[in-house]
């Protein structure tokens, strides 16, 4: 549970979260298309510096799906507003460790800033979502062909 703090403190944390997002986006853009190695560790220092401040602990909890009815779960304390960054930074760290950056691509949508992992068979995926960016590209291409046909 987060102890409530002044709104200005939450605004500072939100700014840090946006800064982490932009730093991570630049890191992924730089490293996409190739596998990460231990040599990339120094560039990940911004994640490690935040991860080292975490306040996490284990706890036994009820779990109807387990044979014993119990499970071990990780809980996190949020003593400060800055501790709200922990789940975000943990997710970024897991992505760095578990995702194969060889398959990471940037969406080709002209206004899209999303990145994705292309695990299609031929690794020819171009858009984050066929339903959104891919459809927009196909509609734009169709309109361009119609315009060429009427203009010529």
- Per DSSP, what are the bridge partners of residue 78? 2
Residue 151 pLDDT level (bands cut at 50, 70, 90): low
How many Å apart are CA 77 and CA 24, to the nearest integer? 25
This prediction has a pTM of 0.71
Instruction: Kindly report, residue by residue over 72-93, the tens digit of the pLDDT.
Output: 998 888 888 889 999 999 999 9
Please tell me the distance from the alpha carbon of residue 66 to that of residue 99, in angstroms, as a whole number: 29
pLDDT at 30: 94
SS3 assignment, position 101: helix
Mind listing the pLDDT tens digit for each residue in 95-123? Answer: 999 999 999 999 998 889 899 999 999 99
Helix ranges (H only) for the chain are: 7-31, 45-51, 86-98, 135-151
Who's near 93: CB < 8 A, 6+ residues apart?
44, 47, 51
Residue 21 CB coordination number (10 Å): 12
Q: Are 101 and 119 in contact (CB under 8 A)?
A: no
Distance of CA 52 to the CA centre of its chain: 20
Cα distance between residue 116 and residue 128, in whole Å: 6
Question: Which 8-state DSSP code applies to residue 80?
Answer: S
Question: What mean pLDDT value characterizes the chain?
Answer: 89
Q: State the average pLDDT over residues 120-142.
A: 90
Name the DSSP letter for residue 139.
H
């Amino acid at each position: 549970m987060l102890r409530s703090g002044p709104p200005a403190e939450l605004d500072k944390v939100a700014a840090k979260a946006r800064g982490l997002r932009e730093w991570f986006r630049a890191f992924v853009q730089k490293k996409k298309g190739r596998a990460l190695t231990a040599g990339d560790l120094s560039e990940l220092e911004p994640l490690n510096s935040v991860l080292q401040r975490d306040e996490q602990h284990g706890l036994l909890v009820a779990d109807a799906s387990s044979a014993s009815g119990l499970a071990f779960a990780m809980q996190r304390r949020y003593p400060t507003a800055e501790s709200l960054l922990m789940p975000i930074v943990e997710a970024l760290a897991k992505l760095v460790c578990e995702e194969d950056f060889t398959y990471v691509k940037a969406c080709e949508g002209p206004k899209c800033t999303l990145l994705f992992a292309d695990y299609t068979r031929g690794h020819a995926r171009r858009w984050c979502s066929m339903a959104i960016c891919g459809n927009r590209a196909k509609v734009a291409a169709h309109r361009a062909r119609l315009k060429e046909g009427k203009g010529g």
